[in-house]
Copies of this chain bind each other. A is one copy, B any other.
Amino acid sequence: MRIAVDVMGGDNAPKAIIDGSILALKEYGAELYLVGPEEEILKYLKEEDKRNPNINIVKASEIIRADEAPVNAIKHKKDSSMVIGLKLVKDGQCDGFVSAGSTGAFLAGSLLKVGRIKGVDRPALSPLIPTIRRSCMIIDAGANADSKPKNLQQYSVMGSIYMEKVMGIDKPRIGLLNIGTEESKGNELIKGSFPLINSTGVNFVGNVEARDILSGVCDVCVCDGFAGNVLLKTVEGTAMTLFRLLKEEFTKNGRTKLGAMLLKDGIKNIKKRFDYTEVGGAPFMGIDGIMIKAHGSSDANAIKNAVRQAKIFHDNRCLDIIKNEIDKLGVERTDE
């Protein structure tokens, strides 16, 4: 597998990105294409890495910052690490692309430079959040603010394939995010999506409520990008607030400080789980290429995992399976 990595994206770029990519290369094997300014990359490569035939440097002089208007940035910064990386996939030189850079630019760039799978109108950003059981994919988490039932049907199929093939979950349980569990509940979008998802053959467990997602009620939470984004950011905000309140209580007096000291490791474990909010990178599903968006605050280990995700995605031929299943949905629709 040939994988392009945006060396300049993310808070810890370029060091953590380069380190993580090389860790993945050594652990899982792959052909790496590090995209960014050559002198920056060379600075962080060891002599043995420079001689490694599986590590390629692809020059890119510009950087897209997180606060730039995404479409504009993609159109004008033609020599950015983001655009050059995307083009490697478009031109077939690489099989996948990992970036911890601007989410907006990543989404816009994937659409503009790589393009959609035939039949998928609305690709979806689909991060995994940690649950009590394991993790749950939120699809869509905000790539599209407005969706149609057909989009949600496609999300259910793509999410199911990903969780099975990449995360190794047998018959992933697909839930439809709703404001009640009865089939009659919800807005027009959800009511329209229910029968469509039910007809796909995925392991559909019906409507699920937001309060049960972290308890592991499903492996894939299908929703429109607006609701998914609200869910994701509410988890983040609630965890942040609770930890802030805990800290206040812990530092109140000598007694609580002692208690906090005894519990330090445990709290750290929980915090770490919720700090990232997301498990590994978020695939951009429905793009005609393997696109993994790593969290902006990714360290080397997170990048290693994102590269690993891309590799499993590739090794299991997920893109072909998704194309095939989307194609089938299309045929079924025409039959009706």
Chain B residue at minimum C-beta to C-beta distance from A249: B266
A237 to B250, CA, bound (A): 23
A40-57 vs B, Cβ < 8 Å mask (1 yes, 0 no) = 000000000000000000
Spot the interface stretch: A9-17, A29-37, A206-214, A286-294.
A206-214
A175 within 8 A of B: no
In the complex, the count of this chain's copies comes to 2
A238 within 8 A of B: yes
Instruction: Report the interface size for chain A: residues with CB under 8 A from the other chain.
Output: 57
Interfacial chain B residues near A235, Cβ < 8 Å: 234, 238
Interfacial chain B residues near A260, Cβ < 8 Å: 259, 263
Say which residue of B146, B213, B240 sits within 8 Å of A188 (CB atoms): B146
A241-266 vs B, Cβ < 8 Å mask (1 yes, 0 no) = 11011100110100110111111001
Interfacial chain B residues near A266, Cβ < 8 Å: 246, 249-250, 252, 256
A267 within 8 A of B: yes
Q: DSSP majority for the A interface?
A: helix
A205 within 8 A of B: no
| A226 with B229, Cβ < 8 A, contacts A211-B234, A259-B263 known | no
Closest Cβ of chain B to A49, distance in Å, is 38
A245 to B187, CA, bound (A): 33
Closest Cβ of chain B to A136, distance in Å, is 11
A321 within 8 A of B: no
Interfacial chain B residues near A233, Cβ < 8 Å: 179, 209-211
Interfacial chain B residues near A245, Cβ < 8 Å: 132, 270, 273
Say which residue of B179, B215, B237, B246 sits within 8 Å of A241 (CB atoms): B215
| A226 with B146, Cβ < 8 A, contacts A234-B213, A239-B242 known | no
Q: A145-B185, A234-B234 are in contact. List 9 more A-B contacts (CB 8 A).
A: A131-B241, A179-B233, A211-B233, A214-B240, A231-B234, A249-B269, A259-B262, A259-B263, A262-B262
